[in-house]
Amino acid sequence: MDLSLDTREQGGCTVIEVGGEIDVYTAPKLRECIVDLVNRGNYHLVVDMEDVEFLDSTGLGVLVGGLKRVRAHDGSLRLVCTQERLLKIFRITGLTKVFAIFDTVDSAVKENPA
């Protein structure tokens, strides 16, 4: 499955619903999406990863890059993920200490500091 990206507004945040595979081929599309949102003034992002089937370090790099972008505007980037196989990757890379990871979009949006 290719990468699918849908965005919507919820509770003052922009929710990016990501589906499919995030790898060395598709990660640039996610990066473009995040860069475009930030350039249009969306600084509080929630990345919903519940439909992500595969994630590699290129995808992690894009998420870290996105976090840096929004932090530069005092924004936030929170993740929604309950899939153990993805959470394992975040733990191995130490990124659980960098990203706020939530079980649901609603709980991620509630934490919106905006």
Partner 1 sequence: MATVALQVGQDPAHVRLVRLVSSAVARMAGLGDEALDEVRLGVSEACGLAIDALGAAGSDAPMSLEFDDTGGLRVTVRTPAALPARHEVPVPADPALEDSPNVAHVLLDRLALIEGLIDDVDVASGPDGSSVTMRWKPESGTAPGK
Closest CB to partner 1 among residues 10, 65: 65
Smallest Cα–Cα separation from 6: which of 53, 41, 51, 44? 51
Closest CB to partner 1 among residues 61, 106: 61
**Using CB under 8 A, which of the segments 4-12, 27-35, 40-48, 101-109 binds partner 1?**
27-35
Count of residues of this chain found to bind partner 1 when the rule CB under 8 A is applied: 30
Closest CB to partner 1 among residues 15, 69: 69
DSSP 8-state secondary structure symbol assigned to residue 75: -
Least distance CB 36 / partner 1 (angstroms): 13
Binding flag, residue 8, partner 1 (CB under 8 A) = no
Binding flag, residue 114, partner 1 (CB under 8 A) = no
The residue within the footprint of partner 1, chosen from 62, 81, 101, 109 (CB under 8 A), is 62
Classify the phi-psi angles of 11: left when phi > 0, otherwise alpha if psi is within -120 to 50, otherwise beta: left
Binding flag, residue 25, partner 1 (CB under 8 A) = yes
Walk across the sheet containing 100-102 and list its strands: 4-10, 13-22, 44-55, 76-80, 100-102
